[in-house]
Structure 1
Amino acid sequence: MCLTMENKKIQRDHEVFTDGDEIINDSPIEQVRLSIPVRDDPTLPTLTFRTWVLGPITCSILAFLTQFFMYRQNYVNIPTSVVQMVLVFLGKLMAAKLPSEPVKVPGTTWSFSMNPGPFNIKEHVLLSILANTGLDSPYSILIMVVRKIFYKKYLNFWIGLLMALAIQLLGYGFAGIFMKFLVYNPYMWYPLTLLDVSFFRAVHEVEERPKRGISKLQFFLVVTVGSFAYAVIPNYFFPSISALSVVCWFWKHSVIAQLIGSGRNGFGIGSFTFDWSAISGYIGNPIAYPLSTIINTSVGFILFLYVICPIAYWTNSNNARHFPFNSLDLFDKNGQLYNISNIINENDLTFNQKGYESYSKLYISVVYLF
């Protein structure tokens, strides 16, 4: 962030560099200083014709695809990096093919250019923000879907629309309230955002390749091709390497061995994987997060899964030994899947206390108990 001040001063909480009358306020976080440029080019166009055309179109397409794939048993995730790379191609294609002559709006003196110049980094960032808003499905959609499919209750379109808008705007409201603490605070930083910034800089900044080395863009392309080639192996050719349980191999018919070694329904002791999505599924991307965060998450994971949960299971806390150790299902007192319709009033979908008392308490696996 650049500030112009008459009286130069040094702030103790982070470094300040002076350049003439301009004071450049840098971040106190080393990773941020190495990734985020502190200078801004105000001459770069932002709200261009490309932004207004590609932004809403990509957002609409991604919103449709996200909602469509959400109902699949095997959910198809569209990574943000894929969207960003597609936007590079589309933006540069429009910059190369669209005419640069001004276009006048009929009946007014206002005009605009369909091609104000090369596709720049600010346009790319704005397009990514607009497009990525379509990658998140509103939780209110799940409410309407559950009512329709499981309870045959149909919600009025306008009521559903207002509910979705209210829930989404509530989130934006909280974002504005905590902006001072979560965004403007220089000590609050988000490692995954640095990956996006590094990508934008690698694509748009002109960099000379060092002698006997590679540039950032070349390094990015090498990593992209390598990660794609590696992802194909566990996803298509050898899906079995996503979860290899050694203990289960040697004691195939032992219930205790399955409980200890199964990476799906047990403790997962002795299980390992070659699937990157499984590696980063719990702790996040180990390349992006700092070591302290990974250690913190790993210690919590070990204490929870290998200390607290086994103790609760073997002491039969909440009848834990009657049900699978790790399962998303809900169970009744007999170990069968819980029949929700027995405890819900059919007319208004409210809780039926008498039905609950006559049917069964609701039980969950010990992993989701704590």
Structure 2
Amino acid sequence: MWVLGTLSCVLLSFLNQFFWYRTEPLTITAISAQIAVVPLGHLMASTLTDRVFFKESRWEFTLNPGPFNVKEHVLITIFANSGAGTVYAIHIVTAVKVFYKEKFTFLVSIIVVITTQVLGFGWAGIFRRYLVEPAAMWWPANLVQVSLFRALHEKEDTPKGRLTRNQFFLIAFMCSFAYYIFPGYLFPMSTSMSWVCWAFPKSVLANQLGSGLQGLGIGAMAFDWSTASSYLGSPLGSPWFATANIAVGFLILMYLIVPVSYWLNIYHAKTFPIFSSHLFTSSGQTYNISSINNSKFQIDLNAYKQNGPLYISTFFAISYGVGFAALTATIVHVLFFHGREILELSKSGLLKEKRKMDIHTRLMSKYKQVPQWWFICILLFNIVATLFACQYYNDQLQLPWWGVLLACFLAFIFTLPIGIIYATTNQQPGLNIITEYIIGYMYPGRPVANMCFKVYGYISMTQAITFLQDFKLGQYMKIPPKSMFMAQVVGTLLSCLVYLGTAWWLMTSIPNICDTSLLPPNSPWTCPNDRVFYDASVIWGLIGPRRFFGDLGTHSAVNWFFLGGAIAPVLVWVAHKAFPQQKWIRLINMPILLSATGMMPPASAINFSTWLLLAFLSGFILYRYRQNWWQRHNYILSGALDAGLAFMGVLLFLCLGLKGISINWWGTNIDGCPLASCPTAEGVIVDNCPVF
């Protein structure tokens, strides 16, 4: 467990951070490691010596205690899960060092990264009773891994002529590995292809409609797994009802609200691109942020008045509004649909009442549980360390002590409702918008303080949910809680070091990383996630929400989305009570529907359309009409596609990217819709765009 767990954690941390800065970032889940370690585990069990050292003493141990078993495998996967996803605090480092070009030392970076990642253990310990023990909290993503554990460890009677699961994984892995040389190097256009733009290359309207990266993506196609899985995760692991909610949310926003808002010129939409996360002046030019940033890394109000107010695309503004709605919808949905259950669990906990236990919870009761004071100590230690860092390094972090405590309070309040949503739908609404909104009003003009508050408030909650998900996996697989706790803590600390080290290496070794104005054409190092994070720090931190969404701004009407989000779940609940025989009504999940496009931007139309197509084929067509194949191969295929793409991507970078070896031909012109980013208002002049 220690050898393969450490190897998996380090490798996934490196690969995920490596791909994070790319145009189509790839998130490699723990499923890839879960599958890949099986042959390595059996190899170690068959070759390592079984000699017992220090026999019959308190120090007795052996390197090979027996065959590679499923519980070792689960702990390795929990260890590896620490390296899956991303470390959100790296955004702060990238934004300050690369975009703002200000000082941010490695020591301060490592303090922020570790404290934000580990703080969530405290909330996880507090909410175990609500999010792990009840059977209703079933965590769909864990069932993917449980089915894989069974497939990989149970002996299978494979009929002659059929592939075993391991053979299928190896074949799919090799095919994915070999294929990615085309979208990754030889034919990048396969990432996003638009026949509409090819048919009408000089039409701005056609480019806006057809572009999968900078437009509505009508008719756009992609033949690249990373396009489908880069933002929403694997489409092969989504429950069908959640996929349907995401599809409805995407279609309403992308093909109803955005086109109507743009062509009605709401918020001067035609002055800017139809789909963009960039920051503009009133005339449609790129805003010079450095001109309003003074020597103390705060807003220069005189310079801001001279330059004029900041503008964003109407799509970007609407996406923030949808985020407002998703937040209030999450709270109201949990109160109406899960309020009674929460009340009963709280009552049984406070009054020490006996209640009917889930079968898994009852079987786990034979193990010694992790003491509650362990979690409390970790929580208090991290809060104290964060307070110290923010006070001692205030010139770099800007966040005052009360900001740290307020961020922790928000994380505590929202962990339970968002955890319930994720535990039942596999989709997780975020706190990022409301955190930056609150601190932006309370402490405006300080972008780093805004970013730190957002990360401490949002990611400590997200990390808590990740830890709780692992606890549930351990419960399904009957792993001793203290062993799970150990794997989580060590894996988290190790992944923090690898993530930050990899990011620091890339920022110092790739010239002009993230700067699209200086990078070579079609360079993959455009950092779309970090660009959006930086833009958000300007909007909410440097300028502040009052000058944007408040009484001093031009987008105050967006605040009505808060009310709309609160009303939407009530309407679903009333419809469910009025028509209880219509079971499909209860499957309408407004937090998921409204937060479906929460990753837009940086995600684009082609990411969603490709993801939805594959999710429909897997979760509906194959599950309904080829269920045996789906049960046997679906999740294994997902892991193999992730792993093959990852290894080829790193190989291409090490062999060709570092040496600057590239090719330039028609197939390297990604999307092929250069006019999609053009404004259509009269008299707006932008380079390489027609004037209307």
TM-score, with normalisation over the residues of structure 2?
A: 0.42
Distance 2:301 2:122 in 1: 36
Distance 1:286 1:58, change over 3 A: closer
Match of 2:153 among 204, 207, 210: 204
**Which residue of 2 is the match for residue 178 of structure 1?**
127
1:321 to 270, 276, 299: 270
Give a deviation string over 1:37-86, Cα, whole Å, max 9, x none: xxxxxxxxxxxxxx123323442444345445545566565453432333
- Which one of the candidate residues 189, 204, 223 is aligned to 2:138? 189
Matching residue within 310, 324, 345 for 1:362: 310
SS of the residue 1:309 aligns to: helix
Say if 1:84 and 1:128, in contact at 8 Å, map to a contact too.
yes
Q: Is the alpha carbon distance of 1:342 and 1:250 closer, same or farther for their aligned partners in structure 2, counting shifts above 3 Å?
A: same
Counterparts of 2:23 and 2:228, CA distance in 1: 21
Partner of residue 293, structure 1:
242
Query: d(CA) in 2 for partners of 1:233 and 1:182?
Result: 43
1:244 paired with 2:163, answer no
Unaligned runs of 5+ in 2: 319-692
The 3 A distance-change label for structure 1 pair 303 and 65 is closer
After the TM superposition, which residues 39-118 of structure 1 pair with which residues of structure 2 at under 5 Å, given as runs?
A: 51-71=1-21, 75=25, 77-104=27-54, 109-118=58-67
| Structure with higher helix content | 2
Q: Which amino acid aligns with 2:126?
A: I
| Alignment partners' CA distance in 2, 1:105 and 1:156 | 49
User: Greater relative contact order (Cα 8 A, min sep 6): structure 1 or 2?
Assistant: 2
1:193-272 matches, cutoff 5 A: 193-210=142-159, 215-221=164-170, 223-224=172-173, 234-236=183-185, 238-272=187-221
* Unpaired runs of at least 5, structure 1: 1-50
Query: How far did residue 368 of structure 1 move?
Result: 1.9
Report the RMSD for the aligned CA atoms in angstroms. Answer: 3.1
Q: CA deviation at 1:126?
A: 0.9
Query: Secondary structure of 1:199's match?
Result: helix
| 1:158 positional shift | 4.2
Residues 247 and 65 of structure 1: CA distance in aligned 2, closer, same or farther (over 3 Å): closer
Query: Is the 8 Å Cα contact of residues 326 and 367 (structure 1) preserved in structure 2?
Result: yes
The answer to whether the Cα contact below 8 Å between 1:283 and 1:298 also exists between their aligned partners in 2 is no
Q: Which residue of 2 aligns with 1:146?
A: 95
| SS of match in other structure, 1:369 | helix
Cα contact 1:140–1:167 (8 A) shared by 2? yes
Residue 299 (structure 1) shift: 0.9
Q: Deviations over 1:204-237 (max 9, x none)?
A: 2112225776555455555555655665554455
Return the alpha-carbon distance in structure 1 between the equivalents of residues 171 and 219 of structure 2: 33
Shift of 1:99: 0.7
How far, CA to CA, are the matches of 2:110 and 2:191 in structure 1? 40
Aligned mates of 1:321, 1:98 — CA distance in 2: 67
Please tell me whether residue 350 in structure 1 is matched to residue 350 in structure 2. Answer: no
Range 358-367 or range 75-84, more displaced: 75-84
- Given the alignment of the two structures, is residue 121 of structure 1 paired with residue 92 of structure 2, yes or no? no
CA displacement at 1:322 relative to structure 2: 1.0
User: Secondary structure in 1 aligned to 2:279?
Assistant: coil
Shift of the 271–109 alpha-carbon distance from structure 1 to 2, 3 Å rule, reads closer
Note the alpha carbon deviations across 1:99-134, whole angstroms, 9 max, x for none. Answer: 11212299x632111101111111112112212312
Q: Distance in 1 between matches of 2:104 and 2:46?
A: 47
Displacement of 1:254: 1.0
Spell out, residue by residue over 1:258-309, the C-alpha distance to the aligned partner (whole angstroms, 9 max, x if none). 1112222111122233334434556654432232222111111110101011
Aligned residue type for 2:216: F
Return the alpha-carbon distance in structure 1 between the equivalents of residues 265 and 65 of structure 2: 69
Greater alpha carbon shift after TM alignment, 316-325 vs 86-95? 86-95
Answer yes or no: is the 8 Å Cα contact 1:138–1:164 preserved in 2.
yes
Which is further off, 287-296 or 95-104?
287-296
Out of 169-178 and 226-235, give the one that drifted further: 226-235
1:31 corresponding residue in structure 2: none
Instruction: Provide closer, same or farther for how the CA distance between residues 250 and 343 of structure 1 changes in structure 2, counting only shifts above 3 A.
Output: same
- 1:233 and 1:239 in contact (8 A); partners too: yes
* Aligned-partner Cα distance in 2 for 1:67–1:227: 20
Task: Using structure 1 for the length normalisation, give the TM-score.
Answer: 0.74
Task: Evaluate the alpha carbon distance shift between residue 275 and residue 190 of structure 1 in structure 2; reply closer, same or farther with a 3 A threshold.
Answer: farther
Mean Cα deviation higher: 292-301 or 204-213:
204-213
Q: Matched residue pairs, number?
A: 318
Matched residue, 2:407 = none
Q: Distance in 2 between matches of 1:202 and 1:116?
A: 23
Provide closer, same or farther for how the CA distance between residues 152 and 123 of structure 1 changes in structure 2, counting only shifts above 3 A: same
CA-CA distance at 1:94 after TM superposition: 1.7
Return closer, same or farther for 1:235/1:161 CA change in 2, 3 Å cut-off. closer
Distance 2:235 2:13 in 1: 28
Query: Separation in 2 of the partners of 1:197 and 1:178?
Result: 23
- Give percent identity, aligned residues only: 42
Distance 2:250 2:161 in 1: 43
Using the alignment, how far apart are the partners of 1:216 and 1:124 within structure 2? 17
The 10-residue stretch of structure 1 (70-79 or 303-312) with the greater mean CA deviation from structure 2: 70-79
* Whole-Å separation in 1 of the counterparts to 2:163 and 2:58: 50
Q: Secondary structure at the match of 2:311?
A: coil
User: Highest Rg: 1 or 2?
Assistant: 1
Asked whether the 8 Å contact 1:248–1:261 carries over to 2, the reply is yes
- Quick check: 1:92–1:119 contact (8 Å CA) kept in 2? yes
- The residue identity in structure 2 corresponding to 1:352 is D
The answer as to whether partners of 1:320 and 1:365 remain within 8 angstroms in 2 is yes
Q: 2 CA distance for matches of 1:292 and 1:148? A: 42
> Following TM superposition, by how much is the alpha carbon of 1:253 offset from its aligned partner in structure 2, in angstroms?
0.8
